[in-house]
């Protein structure tokens, strides 16, 4: 999806013979996962910078450098080719985000700046949706009453004679509550991306000197017992507010989903729409069951990150008419 938004196509090459991703996409995705793993990894040289002059103490520099080279091996040629197309007049209309960055009028970006922005954008939207959906599905399958309530919400708003559309989302409050609860309880990372204060600041009574690195604890906010009742329990109903539309952002920062203010995520609408649509389609289109002899899904987290320690394994059975499913 991110490749489609940025480059106008899902695959770098022709994909594999079965229409799925080929070796190029797999290698590209693996390099992105590596970059994300080491983004906030503990590194001795962060605390003792003088060690950098001696050696790559943890080996992180080499790992990150190789991963970035791999990612850009597939991205940069596409960007160079697209820039040339605009220069030659072969391309005249904006079809994707890359076209938009190339044709900005008020802020002209160099090729290197575009390549850096593209890598940042891909990393920012690479794992959020998949992490959120896997956790939401796992928690809901473990609590059939929650899952059944989501199914009833979809059947009431959409019915079973057509698939859910983007225009339905504003009415699917309970589905959005499930998404929001997964954001709260199972954030994609323990901290936000580090920020640096440009001036002396005071936040919540704490003095933060200019030049300080600031890390916001997503777990500390989302699982704060002073704010949330029974914070370790997956309970989508806590986000219902009568008939008011449920929003996935929280400007009070009782949880950290998309941030807020000038440094908040610029893709709030895109990210929330992608996540809600995917969850809604999965719930509407299929009944889900755990494998035999597994009464509950294991919802333990990894030790090194907040992803599920064991990937969700569930059995899906179509629940709608056959003509509503795309033919293979």
Supply the pTM of this predicted model: 0.86
Cα(166)–Cα(40) distance, rounded to whole angstroms? 34
Q: Is 148 found in the same domain as 115?
A: no
Q: Is 103 found in the same domain as 233?
A: no
In a domain, 174, yes or no: yes
Low-confidence ranges of the chain (pLDDT < 50): none
Q: Is 288 found in the same domain as 146?
A: yes
265 is in an annotated binding site: yes
Beta bridge partners of residue 7, listed in sequence order: none
Residue 24 lies in domain: 2-124
Q: Is 163 found in the same domain as 99?
A: no
Of 75, 98, 124, which closes a domain? 124
In a domain, 207, yes or no: no
Report the candidate in 130, 179, 164 with the shortest Cα–Cα distance to residue 319: 164
Report the candidate in 65, 43, 127, 162 with the shortest Cα–Cα distance to residue 308: 127
Of 107, 124, 141, which closes a domain? 124
In a domain, 211, yes or no: no
In a domain, 200, yes or no: no
pLDDT at position 19 is 64
DSSP state of 33: H
Q: Is 157 found in the same domain as 102?
A: no
Q: What is the tally of structural domains in the chain? A: 2
Q: Is 137 found in the same domain as 258?
A: yes
Q: Is 242 found in the same domain as 148?
A: yes
Cα(103)–Cα(170) distance, rounded to whole angstroms? 33
pLDDT in tens, 123-175: 887 788 889 999 999 999 999 999 999 999 999 999 999 999 999 999 999 99
pLDDT at position 43 is 82
pLDDT at position 313 is 93
Structural contact between residues 280 and 154, judged by C-beta atoms closer than 8 angstroms = yes
Could you tell me how far CA 321 lies from the centroid of its own chain?
31
């Amino acid at each position: 999806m991110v490749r489609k938004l940025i480059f106008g196509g899902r695959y770098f090459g022709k994909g594999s013979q079965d229409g799925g991703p080929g070796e190029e996409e797999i290698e590209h995705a693996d390099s992105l996962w590596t970059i994300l793993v080491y983004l906030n990894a503990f590194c001795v040289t962060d605390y003792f910078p003088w060690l950098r002059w001696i050696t790559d103490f943890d080996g992180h520099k080499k790992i990150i450098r190789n991963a970035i080279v791999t990612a850009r091996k597939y991205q940069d040629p596409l960007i160079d080719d697209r820039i040339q197309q605009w220069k030659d007049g072969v391309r005249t209309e904006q079809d994707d985000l890359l076209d938009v960055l190339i044709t900005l009028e008020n802020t002209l970006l160099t090729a290197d700046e575009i390549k850096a922005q593209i890598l940042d954008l891909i990393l920012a939207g690479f794992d959020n949706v998949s992490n959120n959906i896997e956790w939401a599905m796992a928690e809901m399958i473990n609590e059939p009453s929650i899952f059944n309530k989501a199914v009833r919400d979809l059947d009431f708003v959409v019915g079973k004679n057509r698939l859910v559309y983007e225009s339905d989302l504003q009415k699917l409050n309970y589905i959005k509550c499930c998404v929001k609860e997964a954001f709260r309880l199972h954030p994609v990372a323990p901290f936000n991306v580090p920020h640096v204060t440009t001036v002396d600041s005071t936040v919540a009574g704490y003095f933060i000197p200019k030049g300080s690195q600031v890390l916001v604890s997503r777990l500390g906010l989302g699982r704060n017992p002073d704010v949330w009742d029974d914070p370790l329990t997956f309970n989508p109903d806590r986000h219902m507010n009568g008939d008011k539309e449920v929003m996935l952002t929280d400007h009070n920062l009782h949880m950290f989903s998309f941030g807020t203010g000038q440094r908040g995520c610029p893709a709030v609408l895109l990210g929330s729409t992608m996540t809600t649509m995917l969850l809604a389609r999965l719930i509407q289109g299929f009944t889900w069951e755990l494998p035999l002899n597994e009464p509950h899904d294991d919802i333990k987290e990894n030790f090194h990150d907040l992803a599920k320690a064991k990937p969700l394994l569930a059995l899906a059975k179509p629940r709608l008419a056959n003509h509503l499913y795309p033919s293979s």
